[in-house]
Amino acid sequence: MSGFDDPEFFGERWADVYAEGPAPDGPDPGPAVEFLAGLPGRGRVLELAIGTGRVGLPLAARGITVEGVEASEQMVARMRAKPGGEQIPVSIGDMADVPAKGPFRLVYLVSRVSQFRGSERAGVLDGRRGQGCRLGPP
């Protein structure tokens, strides 16, 4: 797995694959979109590792205000090329540092992310780090 913790390598290798939609043997983002669309109510949502927008774009098309964090500029460039992709604000950076300003109604990470590993990065999910992405009131 050497290189998968490098966002540039990951983006160069996978941006085109992700942009084409779900792989025949990969997960269909449809169920995640359906589930997440029912959660936020009113307010902004933040997708960690928004990638090419496979989940964020359909949510935005439903009227949900989506923002993203993504380590790979190549992935975001592919999202920007899609309809609605220019409208979603994306912070480029490590999701463990969450360079986004909350509060958000919902913060989510849809699928496994190879760069997201190790105890020093786990804090973004357990609240010890990433204070900028704090959740707003219910």
- Residue 1 counted as domain residue: no
- Residue 13 counted as domain residue: yes
Starting from the edge strand earliest in sequence, which strands make up the sheet with 106-108, in order?
90-92, 65-70, 44-48, 106-108
Q: What is the arithmetic mean of pLDDT over 15-38?
A: 72
Tell me: the pLDDT tens digits for 53-107?
A: 989 999 999 999 999 999 888 889 989 999 999 999 999 988 777 667 888 889 8
Residue 62 CA to residue 71 CA, distance in Å, equals 25
- Residue 15 counted as domain residue: yes
**Domain hosting residue 100, numbered range:** 7-133
Tally of domains in the chain: 1
Return the pLDDT at 17.
Answer: 59
Residue 32 CA to residue 9 CA, distance in Å, equals 26
Q: Do you know the residue count of the chain?
A: 138
Amino acid at 21: G
Is the model's pLDDT at 12 over the cut of 50? yes
- Residue 2 counted as domain residue: no
List, in sequence order, the alpha helices (H) in the chain: 7-19, 30-37, 56-61, 73-80, 123-126
Cα torsion angle, 22, 20, 12, 32, sign: negative
Amino acid at 13: R
Read off the CATH number of the domain in which 98 is found: 3.40.50.150
- Residue 72 counted as domain residue: yes
- Residue 138 counted as domain residue: no
Strand partners, 46: 67, 107
| Segment (H or E) for 92 | strand 90-92
Q: Which of 69, 77, 74 is nearest to 96 (CA)?
A: 69
